[in-house]
Amino acid sequence: MDKLKGYMGKVLFVDLTKKTYEEFPWSDEDRLRTIGGKVMAADILLNHVKPGMKPFDEDNWLVITTGPMTLCKSPSSSRFNISTVSPLTGILTSSNCGGPFGRNLKSAGWDAMIITGKAEELTWIEIENDVVTFHEVPEMKGMLTGEVQKQFPAGCGKLVIGPAGENKVLYACVFSGERTAGRGGVGAVFGDKNLKIVTAKGTNEPEIHDKERLGFLNEQWEMQLKRHPITGAQL
């Protein structure tokens, strides 16, 4: 099979306990079966979650996924998904979010990332292309999400929790810029893993099957968005 277009073709697997990272096996057949987003995450978790697994188990996975349109400059496509075993419900949760993180993760060369384990100290995961660096950031304990995000340049994507996540409030959120992954308490799982912030940036772009056709469709989509929803007149 030819390499599917629109994807970077790699999934990142990060272990906070061991402070290691590697590529997670994910084939083009897997991509065709799940496309991306929450279905991809659900498929990954289906083969990992065992009966009785708890949200705050060290082996609970956070699965952050993009889709084939992410970073392809299409309207409304700069989104990503966070899935895990929910501390609020005890079952699988999926929280969809806007903000800059999804496109930056993909520009770093990754369609998705999986996070497992627990760090000993409050931690920042820094992703820059193929390199992942672990930083201990105890000085950020108790900082609000906006305060944390100001510490990092605007050119990188950020996932960050505040005091609610650190204290494992069951409905705690994860922020990306001004957008929020607010369902199921995904921020509490970040807090349980001692994960304060994830940043991503890179220099990659997905290969597009037909750039000219995609550009035309994007223009049509944008024109439609500018029409009055009732009269159809151009706004």
Amino acid at 153: P
pLDDT confidence of residue 1: 44
Task: Give the position of tokens 């991306």.
Answer: 36
DSSP 3-state percent helix, strand, coil across the chain (nearest 5): 25, 25, 50
Task: Give the position of tokens 């994960």.
Answer: 195
Q: Report the SS3 class of residue 83.
A: strand
What's the token pair of residue 7? 């994807």
pLDDT confidence of residue 111: 97
∠ Cα 103 195 55 (to 5°): 100
pLDDT confidence of residue 229: 67
CA proximity to 109, closest of 207, 211, 210, 218: 207
Model confidence, pTM: 0.92
pLDDT confidence of residue 235: 64
Rounded distance between C-alpha atoms, residue 156 and residue 152, angstroms: 8
Average pLDDT along the chain, 235 residues, taken 10 residues at a time: 83 98 96 95 96 96 96 85 97 94 96 98 98 98 96 92 98 95 96 98 92 86 74 68
Rounded distance between C-alpha atoms, residue 47 and residue 177, angstroms: 32
